[in-house]
């Protein structure tokens, strides 16, 4: 079942089909790459088909240009019963150099699905280093704030 692979890295060249007229990659293209790398990481950890449940704290830091070498790193930083919180970092560089600069970061939550198409348990990930404990804490804080925002939004909608 589960292979327990915690990290996945995708590397590729940013193509013109992903860019706008200024030669910068569209944010939507970056989000697609995040979803692909996050899925690969979650499926690698759980050994199951996974679905995206939440994207939180996405931050676009720098543009990615056509022709850049792009690296998307995905790492499990927290697990629930059936969910996996995956930290994603997109970085890019000129392929003639080796000076990767972070361009986008976020945390995505994936849920492992069983053969019955319902959420299924995943093996727990335990933070051991101080950095991993801090990342797990950040995932929990993001989850709590996301839940609070959702409740506030629903309350505002119901106030009509």
| Domain boundaries along the sequence of the chain | 7-125
Q: Does the pLDDT value for residue 24 go beyond 70? A: yes
Question: The tokens of 12 are what?
Answer: 């590729």
Task: State which fold the 7-125 domain adopts.
Answer: Thiol Ester Dehydrase; Chain A (3.10.129)
Global pTM? Answer: 0.89
Is the pLDDT score of 1 beyond 60?
no
> Per mean pLDDT, which of 1-10, 19-28, 140-149 is the most reliable?
19-28
Q: Give the confidence band of 83 by pLDDT, cuts at 50, 70, 90.
A: very high
Which residue's structure tokens are 């150099």?
A: 97
User: For the range 94-101, what are the long-range contacts, defined as Cβ-Cβ under 8 Å and sequence gap of 24 or more?
Assistant: 94/67, 94/68, 94/69, 95/13, 95/67, 95/68, 95/69, 100/71, 101/62
């Amino acid at each position: 079942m589960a292979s327990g692979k915690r990290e996945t890295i995708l590397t590729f060249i940013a193509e013109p089909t992903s860019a706008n007229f200024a030669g910068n990659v569209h944010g939507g293209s970056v989000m697609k790459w995040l979803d692909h790398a996050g899925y690969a990481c979650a499926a690698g950890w759980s050994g199951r088909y996974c679905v995206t449940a939440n994207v939180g704290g996405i931050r676009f830091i720098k543009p990615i240009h056509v022709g850049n070498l792009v690296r998307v790193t995905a790492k499990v930083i927290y697990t629930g019963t059936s969910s996996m919180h995956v930290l994603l970092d997109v970085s890019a560089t000129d392929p003639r150099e080796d000076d990767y600069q972070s361009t986008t970061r976020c945390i995505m939550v994936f849920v492992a699905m069983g053969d019955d198409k319902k959420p299924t348990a995943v093996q727990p990930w335990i933070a051991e280093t101080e950095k991993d404990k801090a990342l797990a804490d950040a995932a929990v804080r993001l989850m709590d704030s996301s839940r609070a925002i959702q409740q506030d939004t629903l309350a505002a909608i119901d106030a009509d």
